[in-house]
Structure 1
Amino acid sequence: MHHAWLLQGEAGIGKATVAFAMARHILGAGQDGQAVARQIAGGGHPGLLHLARPPVERGTGFRTQITVDEIRRLTHFFQTTAGLGWRIAIIDPADDMNRSAANALLKMLEEPPARSLFLITNHRPGRILPTIRSRCRVLRFAELTPDEIARQLAEDVPDSTQDARQAAAASAGGSLRTALQHLMSGGLEVSETTRRLVAMPAPDWTAIMALGDAVTLKGREAAYTLMAQAAFRAVADEAQALAMAGDLVRAERLAAFWQAEDARWREAEAFNLDRKQVLLTFFNGLAEARADSAAFH
C-alpha cells in the first residue's frame, strides 16, 4: 500500500469519515474489530494519531492553524510505536497547516517510517504544497447531489420539513455538513444573504454592514464560517460561468481575486484580525476586481 493518501473534496462530504474507516479496517485486521473501533472512537488506539487544530489554551474553541509542533508529534508517535504493525496518521485537514508545519510533513513523506500510513484530508487543492501532493495518491471526492443530501437530512433531522431540507440541500454546495448547519442553526439565511450581496453589481454597504454585524457577534462563529464559504463559492461560480461563456478576461480577474482573498482571510484568521473589517475589504476588493475587468473591456 502506498504510504500517503490525499483525500480531496469539499468540506463536510465525508473525507475524514473515510479516513477513520480506512484506519479501522487496517488496524482491525486479525483483531477484535469492535474493540479496535471503540479504541479509535475514544482516541485511545496506540496505532493511530489524529492531528487537527489544537484547542486554545484558555477558554473554548480551537486555534486557527495546525502548527509545526503538532506535526512534530508524529516523530514521537512513530518512534514509540515502532514495535507495532501499521501506524496511521490522519492530518485533518491539510488546509489548516501553516508553512512550517507543511514543510515538516513534507520531510516525513519523503522518508516515511516503515509500515506508516498518512491519510491527509484537503478541502481546497490550492491550499496544499504541490510537493506534498506529488508524494501522495490522490483520492478525489465528488460533491454530494442535493437529492443525496436531502435524503440524509431526512434521517439526521427527521423533525424538519421537506421544504426546509430541500432548501438546505440546494444551497449547501455538495456538503452535508453545510446543509446540516443551514438546517439547524439558521445558516441558510446567512448563506442566501451573502450570495445575494455578492451577486449585486455594486456593493450595498448598508446590507453588508448589517451582515457583518450579524455574523461577528460572540457565539456566531459558525455563521461567520458559513458566510465566508458562501462568499467564496459565489465568486467561484461567477468566474466559472464567465469562463464557460468565453469571457476569459473577467474570469481570470475574478479567479485572481479569489486566490488573493483566500490567502488574506487565512492570514486574518491566523492573526485574529477584525472579522468585520475583513468582510468589508472583501466586498471592496470584489468591486475593484469587477471594475478593472470592465475597464479592460
Structure 2
Amino acid sequence: MSDVDLAPAEHDALEGVPSPAENDRLRGHEAALAQLLAAHRAGRLHHAWLLQGPRGIGKATLAFAVARQLLGGDDAGNAARQIASGSHPNLLHLTRAEADRGGFKTQITVDEVRKLNRFFQTTAGNDRWRIAIVDPADDLNRNAANALLKTLEEPPDRSLFLIVNHLPGRLLPTIRSRCRVLRLDPLPAPVLTGILDELAIPATEADRGSAAARAEGSVRGAIMLLTSGGLEIEKRLDALFAAPEPEWHGIQALADEVTQRGRETSFDLTLAALFARLAADGEAAALSGQGRRAARLARLHAEEAARFREGLAFNLDRKQMLLTHFHRRFALAGP
C-alpha cells in the first residue's frame, strides 16, 4: 500500500487504511483492470463503465487504478501523487460531501454532480482523458441521478465515467442502459487474508483468517470485523444459534450492549450478521430440497428488511427491534 496520506476526508474512510485514491496495490481484480486497459489500447473504451459488486471488494480501488494508468503519461509518479491528494486536474471524484456542521451528507446531491460541467469546461483544452469517478451511484439522490444521466447522454470528447455501484436495484435503469457493466466478484478468502497482512491490522493470525472467511469477499467487512468488535459479535451469534433452545438471557445481553449510545457500528455489524445468516439458511434449505422452508426464510428476510428500514427511519427502539427479530427467527421451524 502507498505510504502517502494526502487524500481528502471521505465519508467511508477507515482509520489507518489507505483510501482507494492512495492505494496503489490492486488485489483480486487484475483481470478487470486488464480488460479496461485492453479496450483503451484497442481504441474502443466505452465512455461509461458501471463497476458492480458487493460493498468493500475494491471497486473504487479499481477505478483509481484505471485513472492512474490513463493519466500517468510521461510522469506517472507525479500523476499518482496528484490523484492521491485529489488535485489531479483531469480527475473528478464525486462522492458524499462534507456537511456544514461536521460529518458528511447522507447523499450525493445535484450540486456535486453539477461540478461535472465545470470540470469538463476547465479541462476542455487538454488532450488527455478526463475521468469522473462516481462513488457510489447508490448514494445519488433523484435530482443528482437525473443530472448525471443528462451528462452520460451527451458525453464530452475523451471523457470516461467510472461508476461504482453496490446494489443494482438502486440505480436508474436509464443510467445502466448507457454504461458497459463490469461485474466484480467478492475477493477469495486467501486474497483477503493477504490484504489484512499487508495492512498489518492488529489481530492474531487465527482471527485474521476467521474475519477473511466471514467477510463475504469484502476487505471493508473483514477490517470492520477485526477493528470494531464484529468478530466477537459473530462468535456470540454462532453460540446463540447453535444452542438447542433459545438462550434469551444471552440474547438480551447482546441486544443491550449493541444498542447503547455510541455503539452504532456494533449495531450495524450485528444487523448485517443476522441478515447474512438468514440468507445463508435460506440458500442451504433450497439446496437441500426444503422448498417450503426456503420460501419461508426468503419471505422473512424481505419482511424483516422492510421492518428494520421503517423502524430505523422512525427512530424506533433498536433493542426491541432486535428482540423481535430473534423471536421471529426462532419461531420459524420445521421443514
Normalized against structure 2, the TM-score is what? 0.72
Describe how 1:184-199 pairs up with structure 2 within 5 A.
184-194=227-237
Q: CA–CA distance in 1 between the matches of 2:320 and 2:283?
A: 24
Larger fraction in helix:
1
Letter paired with 1:90: I
Q: Deviations over 1:17-56 (max 9, x none)?
A: 111010111112x331111111110011111111222223
Question: Quick one: structure 1 residues 165 and 266, their matched pair in 2 at CA, closer, same or farther if it must change by over 3 Å?
Answer: same
Question: Quick one: structure 1 residues 162 and 285, their matched pair in 2 at CA, closer, same or farther if it must change by over 3 Å?
Answer: closer
The answer to which of 259-268 and 90-99 deviates more is 259-268
Match of 1:31 among 74, 81, 86: 74
Match of 1:236 among 269, 273, 279: 279
Q: Residue 193 of structure 1: CA displacement?
A: 3.8
Q: Does 1:45 align with 2:88?
A: yes
The number of equivalent residue pairs is: 290
Q: CA–CA distance in 1 between the matches of 2:111 and 2:161?
A: 17
Match of 1:77 among 119, 139, 144: 119
Question: Quick one: structure 1 residues 280 and 205, their matched pair in 2 at CA, closer, same or farther if it must change by over 3 Å?
Answer: farther
For 2:160, the equivalent position in structure 1 comes to 117
Describe how 1:117-196 pairs up with structure 2 within 5 A.
117-157=160-200, 160-194=203-237
Q: CA–CA distance in 2 between the matches of 1:268 and 1:56?
A: 25
Match of 2:294 among 251, 263, 271: 251
Q: CA–CA distance in 2 between the matches of 1:290 and 1:75?
A: 54
Q: Residue 280 of structure 1: CA displacement?
A: 4.2
Q: CA–CA distance in 2 between the matches of 1:138 and 1:31?
A: 30
Q: Deviations over 1:175-201 (max 9, x none)?
A: 122212222332211234456667889
Question: Quick one: structure 1 residues 51 and 282, their matched pair in 2 at CA, closer, same or farther if it must change by over 3 Å?
Answer: farther
Q: Does 1:67 align with 2:109?
A: yes
Q: CA RMSD in A?
A: 3.3
Question: Quick one: structure 1 residues 290 and 213, their matched pair in 2 at CA, closer, same or farther if it must change by over 3 Å?
Answer: closer
Question: Quick one: structure 1 residues 216 and 73, their matched pair in 2 at CA, closer, same or farther if it must change by over 3 Å?
Answer: farther
Unpaired stretches in structure 1, ≥5 consecutive residues: none
Residue aligned with 2:161, SS:
strand
Letter paired with 1:81: T
Q: CA–CA distance in 2 between the matches of 1:105 and 1:195?
A: 44
Q: Quick check: 2:282–2:297 contact (8 Å CA) kept in 1?
A: yes
For 1:274, the equivalent position in structure 2 comes to 315
Letter paired with 2:275: F
Q: Deviations over 1:216-258 (max 9, x none)?
A: 4444343333223323322222222233234445434544554
Q: CA–CA distance in 1 between the matches of 2:139 and 2:307?
A: 14
Question: Quick one: structure 1 residues 55 and 112, their matched pair in 2 at CA, closer, same or farther if it must change by over 3 Å?
Answer: same
Q: CA–CA distance in 1 between the matches of 2:172 and 2:323?
A: 28
The answer to which of 251-260 and 132-141 deviates more is 251-260
The answer to which of 257-266 and 226-235 deviates more is 257-266
Question: Quick one: structure 1 residues 150 and 41, their matched pair in 2 at CA, closer, same or farther if it must change by over 3 Å?
Answer: same
The answer to which of 16-25 and 201-210 deviates more is 201-210
Q: CA–CA distance in 1 between the matches of 2:57 and 2:79?
A: 24
Q: Residue 141 of structure 1: CA displacement?
A: 1.7
Q: Identity of counterpart residues, as a percentage?
A: 53
Q: Does 1:8 align with 2:52?
A: yes
Q: Does 1:220 align with 2:244?
A: no
Letter paired with 1:142: D
Residue aligned with 2:203, SS:
coil
Normalized against structure 1, the TM-score is what? 0.81
Question: Quick one: structure 1 residues 76 and 281, their matched pair in 2 at CA, closer, same or farther if it must change by over 3 Å?
Answer: farther
For 2:40, the equivalent position in structure 1 comes to none
Question: Quick one: structure 1 residues 129 and 215, their matched pair in 2 at CA, closer, same or farther if it must change by over 3 Å?
Answer: farther
Q: CA–CA distance in 2 between the matches of 1:80 and 1:260?
A: 49
Q: CA–CA distance in 1 between the matches of 2:136 and 2:308?
A: 17
